[in-house]
Copies of this chain bind each other. A is one copy, B any other.
Amino acid sequence: MTRDGAESVERALNILRAFSETRREMSLTEISQSTGLYKSTVLRLTASLEACGFLQRGEDKLYRLGPELWRLGAIYRRGLDLGEFIRPVLRRLVDTTQESVSFYVRDGDERICLYRQNSPRAVRHHLEEGERLPLDRGAAGRVLRAYTAPKWPPGAQIREDGFYISLGERDADVAAASVPVIDNAGRLRGALSVSGLRSRFDTKAQHLAIEAMKMEAARLADHLPASD
């Protein structure tokens, strides 16, 4: 029994959460192994998920995520109102820096990578859209925190600089630089981040990335639609 909720609901949601970019389809047995639930339990829970449009089961017996997630994900995304403007920016930044570029927003004590454009280079920092990362580590995390928690002591310096560079904070081989995206109403909408191999991301590359992101962030400020 869960502390406040409904155990069977969380079991069903954990079935959904077992899907990922690399696990877009799963058999009954794979779901059972992944979630630790008995197959008969999985069968019963997936029947409800299918009935409500959250899962689909093909004639091959494999389960895939269902269209209701698209609809709800689109509602969530439109609440954010950003993709249309952010994606082209990320592409231009990849062209300029030749490194991977992301856009993050804060969610509680974490940050979420909403949009991502990976570097064309074979050796690159890999990350998936939708992934959650800590707030207290990594360039984008610190930038988001600096602009959303005014009383956080290190935030003053970050706001003064207007950017943050992390060298191996989350992963020893990865370096990243990040700048905030603030709209014309003065509200933080998220953080842009360029990340790549630390050995490549020298002072010159850092400077180039920061200037390019600052320019794009300023452009975005003029174009972002007002949020609610």
Interface residues of A (CB under 8 A from B): 2, 4-6, 8-10, 12-14, 16-17, 19-21, 24-25, 44-45, 47-49, 51-54, 56, 64-79, 107, 112, 114, 129-132, 228
Contacts and interface: CB of A to CB of B under 8 A. Distances in A.
Contacts of A44: 4-6
Contacts of A25: 228
A115 to B, nearest CB: 10
A214 to B, nearest CB: 27
Given A54-B13, A132-B67, A2 B48 contact: yes
5 contacts: A4-B51, A5-B47, A9-B45, A9-B49, A66-B76
B130 A74 contact: yes
Nearest to A13: B52
A127 to B, nearest CB: 12
B12 A6 contact: yes
A51 B8 contact: no
Contact of A51 (B5, B76, B107, B129): B5
A67 B14 contact: no
A64 B107 CA distance: 12
Residue of A13, A54, A65, A71 contacting most chain B CB atoms (<10 Å): A71
